[in-house]
Structure 1
């Protein structure tokens, strides 16, 4: 068999609003679902400035990595969806603060709109370190 799929969940990140896991680990890869700027307690932040939305989404991503026993240095690929490419420089600045010197592969995709009217969503792949 190709190995088990292990579901990752933490109360320190927003609970999924649909039929999906916060992350799953399989064969050494951790697949992190798209993170919107929804706080861990479920509070929405639609009216918050872009910079706050980015910080909340990245906090969720970091909490899920932590729940899997991983950190930002384990990120392999990050995909960022931004409603309004004019936000790219602000995103890049905040992202660099969270990741420090680590530079995973990344794509920033401008989109016309995101769920609930948010301005950013972030998904990622990381090393899992879990035996799956």
Structure 2
């Protein structure tokens, strides 16, 4: 049976989807845009966007009762692969030593013209 995960400490979904779903002890987040849930605004700096996307992901994980060390897979969508080193610099501050598996893909365009979007899979 699936359980919908929601927190007010991350932006609400901008479409017909949930922030995350838990099923059989696994939590699957939707892609998190770098929107500040308090202001509804988004920076134009890729490092700030990466940090905000991860803060949003971690807020959802907290609402699901999941320790960030239990993230097993991340998918990072970026607008420009040239930003990869800057994104990595921020990313590694959230996952220190106990790195999850990861995919990173360049995409033509992201919702709200974001530069980065991040989703994760975690276990309880």
TM bracket (short chain): over 0.9
1:18 pairs with 15, 20, 23, which one?
A: 15
Q: Does 1:116 align with 2:86?
A: no
Unpaired runs of at least 5, structure 2:
none
Query: How large is the RMSD of aligned CA atoms in angstroms?
Result: 1.1
2:27 pairs with 26, 30, 33, which one?
A: 30
SS in 2 for 1:70: coil
- Structure 1 runs of 4+ aligned residues shifted over 4 Å read none
Show the counterpart of 1:78.
74
The separation in 2 between residues aligned to 1:31 and 1:121, in whole angstroms, is 14
The separation in 2 between residues aligned to 1:50 and 1:119, in whole angstroms, is 6
Q: What is the number of equivalent residue pairs in this alignment? A: 124
Normalised TM-score (structure 2): 0.95
Structure index of larger Rg: 1
Unpaired runs of at least 5, structure 1:
none
1:43 Cα deviation from its structure 2 partner: 1.2
**Could you give the per-residue CA deviations for residues 54-97 of structure 1, whole angstroms, max 9, x where no partner exists?**
11101000100111111220101100000000110111111110
Normalised TM-score (structure 1): 0.90
Residues 14 and 42, structure 1, Cα contact 8 Å, conserved in 2: no
The separation in 1 between residues aligned to 2:67 and 2:37, in whole angstroms, is 18
1:42 Cα deviation from its structure 2 partner: 5.2
